[in-house]
Structures are given as structure tokens and as C-alpha cells.
Chains A and B, each alone.
Chain A
Amino acid sequence: MMRLEKRPQPSRAMALATPLLAVLATMVFGGLLFAVLGEDPVQSILTIFWQPLFGEFAFYYRPQLLVKGAPLVLIAMGLALGFRAGIWNIGAEGQYIMGAIFGAAAALVFYPLEAWWIFPLMVICGGLGGFLWAMIPGLLKVKFGTNEILVSLMLVYVAEQFLSSMSLGLLKNPEGYGFPGSRNLQQYASAHNAEIVSGTGMHWGVVAAFIAVIFAYVLLTRHRLGFAIRVTGEAPRAAKFGGVNPARLVLFCLGTSGLLAGLAGMFEVAGPAGQITIDFNVGYGFTAIIVAFLGRLHPVGILLAGGLMALTYIGGDIAQSQLGLPAAAIQVFQGMLLFFLLALDVLTNYRLRFGAAEVA
């Protein structure tokens, strides 16, 4: 019989190996799924993982990797800080939307003025929008002990309603022939988050994502606050004994993740998306939760996981168009990744033993 035995201490080797094992298991079982759907499994997996990087049209797909990966990494990095402390912000999607609206509105107020300070102002407002939206569950939790998971999640739907009302009302393009949606910021030079080097996909959001990763790494390993986050996640009573103020930590973690999600939204609306529309958000805020866990809540891990997730997105699109795989199959494939990751996670703290069971 198979059983789990608790390790005397968490295994570092396993902590590093389980994400790789999870990716492998996803490839195997995803291949099986595609085979059942009547596709060649090896071909499908190659299409998803190989084509975007080294295929015929890789010159087009590689920049897309940065464009799709940056918001995921930026959001996931903020979420991971909270997740490490046991503070569950599930509403990054809403904070992402609010960041985009605040950032776009800051620019549109001054349209068509061209000035160097408009883009920095958008960055500040975008971050602020996400921050404020995340402060709602934060303050409610600190003051009234509400559950931040429910409140932050429900605020996503409020933000979505706000988004459609903005794109149909206040922010609607007056010269847009009645179509919903704001002016296109790509055509507003001072507000455009353009590629820093043309054809690379490298825009300011990508830079921000790298900065966030470095900042989070230093915070978690070298700073008192990062230590407070880790102790709180491991042993809340010990953290309190060690002088951590739980309420302040809740506000810091929710605030930071909201800020980063807001920035991601702002960089997206000013760059790749271009305008505020009803369907502006495409689920980065939710996918980032997977990215955070896939990266083991570790800054470097999240960087790699963001890249991997972007790859499955782009590869999934190719598989859809070239092989005709249904979109749902691609989503199942991505879900498998998280499933295997969480399932294999247990091996970090436990080892598998084969033999007779022992009651102890």
C-alpha cells in the first residue's frame, strides 16, 4: 500500500522539482486528452510549446510572449506577497480593470494636449486605481473581519459593470460614431505605452514586471516586512509574538497587489489594448493566481511561470487555429497545470512510502 510520511523538514529539492514534474504530467495527460479528441498528441504538444518559440512564425510570436507574460508576472508578483502571508486577494481582475480606467481617464482628461508628464501621471493614477479598489476588501477585513476572498472576488463584477458604464458613457469616444469604447490611446502619442525597441514586444509594462520581481525578491529575502509576510504565512501566532501587526500586513499586502494589478491594467490599456472597451479584460487577474502558485510564490519562479503561461496561451491560440482544437480543451489543459502542481506540492512536505500501513 502507498502512504505519505511527513518529512522532518520541507525538501528543497522537491520544492524545485515539483513545478517541472507538474509541467511534464500536464504534457502527458494533455496529450492523452488531445488524442481522445482525435488529434496527434505529440503534434499538439509541439504546437503549444514549440511553435511559438522556434516555429516558422516565431518572429511574430516571441514578442507576444513578453506582451502576454508581463501583466501576468506583474499581477502574480503582488498576489504572491499576500498568498505567502495567507491573505487571499482573488480580485486582481477587478483591480486590473480599475487601474486601466484610472490610467486611461488621466490621459483622456488632457486630450489632445501633448506633454511629457502625461504618461508618468497615467502610471501614478493607474496604480492608485488598483490600490484603492484593493483597499475596499482590505479595510473591510481590518475593521469588520470580513472575508477578503469573497469581497475582492465580488468587486471584480462591480468593476466589470463600471467598465461597461465607462466605455458606454463618460469615457466614450466622442468621435467614435456611437460605438462603445474610448479613444484609442495608441493614437495619442503622449499617452501611448509604445514598444521601447520596435518589434521586441518590450514595453514599459515589461520593465515594470522585471522591477517588481527584483523588488519582491529583495523584500522577501532581506527586508523585515518580507520576513513578517513569511512568518505570518507559516505561523500567525509566532508572527504576532514576533511583533508583526496583522492589520497593517493585510493592508500592505492587499494594497501592493492592487497597485501592481492596477499598473498592469494601465500598461495594457495604454499599449497592446489601446482603448477602454466593454470586453477590455481577458482574465489576466485570474490567470495570475495560477501563475503565482506555479511559480511557488517565489519571485524567480513567478517570472518563469509567467513565461510558461504566456506560452500556453499563445500556443493554445495556434493549436486552435491550426489544428482546430476547441478552446475548452485548451482551458482544460491550463487547468491541469494548476491541478498537477497543487497535487504534487504535497511531496515537498511528505515523502511517498510503499509498504504496510502503520497506525500511530
Chain B
Amino acid sequence: MTALLDLSGVTKAYPGVVANDSVSLTIQPGEVHALLGENGAGKSTLVKMIYGLVKPDAGQMSLNGASFAPSDPRAARAAGIGMVFQHFSLFDALTVAENIALGMENAPPMRQLATQIKAVSETYGLPLAPHRLVGDLSAGERQRVEIIRCLLQEPKLLIMDEPTSVLTPQEVEILFKTLRKLSAEGTAILYISHKLEEIRALCDAATILRLGKVVGHCIPRDTSAAEMAELMVGSALKPPQKAAGASGDVLLELRDLSLPPVSTFGMPLREISVSVRAGEVLGIGGVAGNGQDELLSALSGEVPVPVGTVFFKGDDMARAHPNARRAAGLLTAPEERLGHAAAPDMSLTENAMLTGAAREGLERNGMLDWKAARSFANRIIADFDVRTPGPGNAARSLSGGNLQKFVIGREILQRPEVLVVNQPTWGVDASAAAAIRQALLDLAQNGAAVIVISQDLDELMEISDNFAALNEGRLSAARPAAGLTVAEIGQMMGGAHGMEVAHV
């Protein structure tokens, strides 16, 4: 049997970095093949070459035995390759069918397309109404739109980039059923992820990349997650050390916090009540877009909230603006690093000034002390191992992980009493993520209350004392994290979000 896709010696270099160094990879028809690696290992570059977005500098690719060199994604799609990206490219204000038609070469008339969508979605257990607005769909349903868009082209190889990062455990099960059915019908799947248990459950074979090179192959079913992790990182990882959560006084309390949506397709917050104590780490899980950003904005003070809903050490903080909250000791770090937590084109010194002015004494009577800001920035860089030539460099010149360390470090060094972080390790490599988690745990150990909002359940289970989940803007009751089962967590996250389990 000839391989469906065969890559040999594929190399791609960017200025200053070799993204892929002589990578070879073989995928058989119907095989579910995992591509494993840390951020920056070269997974994205590799699939971009297969999908025709990037041209390799050297090496051969062949598809069904014939030489394959797609000049653009259109050529790749014509050759039978489909790709579902991690970030969806959908228009909120258009319907499912309209969105799908936009991505097709020769879209059939809308009514015919709707019938096709229905047919495909039923065959593969991905129920989806063609006439619904995408803006009203959950993240899992949006992903279905992307998958169906690919399936309508009847691909021989489906590439999926981190597909489960936006799904609840129940939704992951549904997706896996679909993928297994596709595989049984002969469609090969190239599955990119760093979630090892998922790969063990789903994939037939795995190729592991590190720093652009293939460092190993394995059969995931027969390999332990720890072994795969070691191959990925190159050394054994030190899991964060967590002391028993000593619970002190309640530092932050939310009482029936409700907030109307900011934009048309925004998520409202609905009657959120929760409290965190000194020394406690509260993990807040949930699928993206269920109110995480809104909750953080309400706590940071960017969005005004009704009186009597946010209490900090017993004082009503609902109307306090962001800097008043900082001065009191309530600090936050938003998810979006570039443009929200930091100004991309401004230097690290200026970004240190952005939130550090009040608590670090960087301003006096409105006049700014840039020397003090620079030394504060230097302190963050040193304490949190931020890799940069110096504090004069622009925030956008840092890699995602380094900037995240800077952003988290900036808040932690201000000795917060309550710290709220959203997606603290998103897009951060494993060792930096471990360092950030350890820093959050140390902060709680020293008597602060920490709220970690994240979509990474493994992370939350690792560091949280208590766990709650956001679903449709509602926060479930917080429960001790120890002893929670995956099924229970999934239920707290809203189960399958009303999506039916595949009837296959």
C-alpha cells in the first residue's frame, strides 16, 4: 500500500531560526497521526507547508506516490487536503451556510448547500442547523462549521490544529467519535496537540518534534504520557509544588454579579456569586467565550458593575476604577497579551509603568519617574527570566511566552492581595508555563488569594484548591478540586452545551 502523504527531508528556515530541519513524516490512508511538540517546535510550519501556505526550502513531499508541491491552499484543497485551524475564520453576523459558502471554490445555490450541510452533518454525527447565525453558536458548534466546511470537499487528509482546546470533555467525546468514523472510512487525520491523554485515546501513530527536528516516533497507545512528555520537552519536567491550601479570611467576594453583554454577540454575566480566601487558588474553567473576558473586565474595573456586587476585604469595590483597585491590592492580568495586557509598540519600561505606577511609586503628583520604571522592568526581567536584550525593547519583539512571563511577573511583583489571571499559560512553552504556575502557587502560599481563569483543565486541576466553571455567563458553585472526576467537571462546564451525542 502506498502512503497517502510522504514527507522526506523537508526543511524550512526563517531569518534566525530553522523552523523545520529535515523533517520526514509518513501518513497512511485512514490513519490518525498525531503531531506532538511544544510551542515553537515547528508543528505549525510543517502543516502550513502541507496546506500550501508556506513553501519548503528543501525536501520532497508526495501525495499518493505523486510529487506534491501545493502553490497555495487552493491547490492543497484541490488535492484533497482540508484543514481546521485553531482560530476560526467565521463571520458572526452570517449564517452557517453563508459562512461555508464563502470558503468554497464553486458554492452551489444556497438551498442545495443547506441540504448538503444537513446530509454531511447527520452522516458524521455533527448536528448543525444551516440557517443559524454563527454569532449565536457555542465554540464547539463553530468548530463543527469549520469541520463541515472541510468535509464538503471530501478530503483525503484532514489536518486539525489543537481542536479540543475550545471543547468541554463531553464535546471532545463527540468530536472523537466523528474523527474515528472518518478514519474508518479511509480519511487520514493529522492531529496536532500537546494534550497527551487525548492523543493516547485517539491516535494510531505519533511523530514528535522538538526545535524543528523529529525527535521520535511512537505508538501512543503503547507509550505512557510521561514518556511522550519527556520526548517533547527533552528533559523530565518538574511539576509545580503545592502546599496544602491554608484558608484565611475572605479577600474577594462577588455577590450576584450580573452584567449585560458589551457587544451584540458578547456574553452577559449572570448572577455570579463566589468568594476567595487568603492562601486559596480558585480555578475557573469553561469553554472559551462563556464569559471569561467579561468576568476579568468586571474585576479589573475596566467595565463598571452595579453597586454591591464586588467586595474586596469587605469594602464595596464595584464603582472603583482600575487604578483604585490596584492601589487597594486587587490586581489582574488579562488573556490577550498584545494590545490588552501590554501595548505592543511600547517598551517594556513603559509597559511596566502601565500598571505599576501606583503600587510601585513610579509617579508623584502625576509626574512619572522613568528611572524607577526602568528598574522595576529590570526587576521583572530578572526575577521571571524574561528573555530580552533589555527593558527598552518593544513588547511586540518578545516571544509569546516571554511576554506572558513579563505580564504575570509585573503583577506578582506588585505584591497583590488578590490576583486574577486569565489564561496565564496560553501559548507558553512547557517550562515557562511551569514557572508561571509555580509563581502563582508561591503567591497564594504567601497569603494572597489567586483566581486562575483558564481553558486548560489539566492546569486548573494541578494548581487549584477549589474549582468552578463558567457556562453561558453563569458560574457554577465552587467545589474542592481534589477528587473531582472528569465527568463532574464536564457537567459543571455545561456538559455538551445542548449538542447531541453523535448517533453513529
Contacts and interface: CB of A to CB of B under 8 A. Distances in A.
Contacts of A235: 338-340, 342-346
A9 to B, nearest CB: 4
Interface stretch (B275-283, B350-358, B444-452): B350-358
Nearest to B392: A9
Most chain-B Cβ atoms within 10 A of its Cβ — which of A223, A224, A234, A245? A224
Contacts of B340: 235, 237-238, 241
B152 interface: no
B368 A224 contact: yes
Given A224-B363, A237-B336, A359-B55, A9 B322 contact: no
Interface string B299-341: 0111000000000000000000111001000001010101111
B375 interface: no
A231 interface: yes
A242 interface: yes
Contact of A227 (B54, B332, B350, B393): B350
Contact of A231 (B323, B341, B343): B343
Contacts of B396: 8-9
A10 interface: yes
A223 B365 CA distance: 9
B295 to A, nearest CB: 14
Given A227-B353, A243-B326, A238 B343 contact: yes
Contacts of B326: 243
Given A8-B397, A231-B346, A237-B339, A242 B354 contact: yes
Interface residues of B, number: 37
B345 A231 contact: no
Contact of A245 (B321, B339, B368): B321
Contacts of A227: 350, 353, 368
B69 interface: no
A8 B394 contact: yes
A235 to B, nearest CB: 4
B367 interface: yes
Interface string A218-248: 0000111101001100110111111101000
Nearest to A6: B396
Nearest to A245: B321
A230 B345 CA distance: 10
B137 interface: no
B176 to A, nearest CB: 32
A223 B72 CA distance: 50
A234 B338 CA distance: 11
Nearest to B337: A238
A9 B345 contact: yes
Most chain-B Cβ atoms within 10 A of its Cβ — which of A227, A242, A245, A358? A242
Most chain-B Cβ atoms within 10 A of its Cβ — which of A231, A241, A360? A241
B53 interface: yes
Interface in B107-127: none
B342 A359 contact: no
B339 A238 contact: yes
Interface string A234-266: 110111111101000000000000000000000
B30 to A, nearest CB: 30
Contacts of A241: 300, 302, 322, 332, 334, 340-341, 354-355
Interface of B: 53-55, 72, 300-302, 321-323, 326, 332, 334, 336, 338-346, 350, 353-355, 357, 363, 366-368, 370, 393-394, 396-397
16 contacts: A223-B366, A223-B367, A224-B367, A231-B343, A235-B343, A235-B344, A238-B354, A240-B322, A241-B300, A241-B355, A242-B323, A242-B355, A243-B326, A245-B321, A358-B54, A359-B55
Q: When A and B form their complex, which 6 residue pairs have the shortest distance between CB atoms, in order from nearest? A: A9-B394, A243-B323, A235-B343, A243-B322, A242-B354, A8-B397
Given A240-B322, A243-B322, 9 more contacts: A8-B394, A9-B393, A225-B366, A234-B345, A238-B340, A241-B340, A242-B323, A242-B355, A358-B54
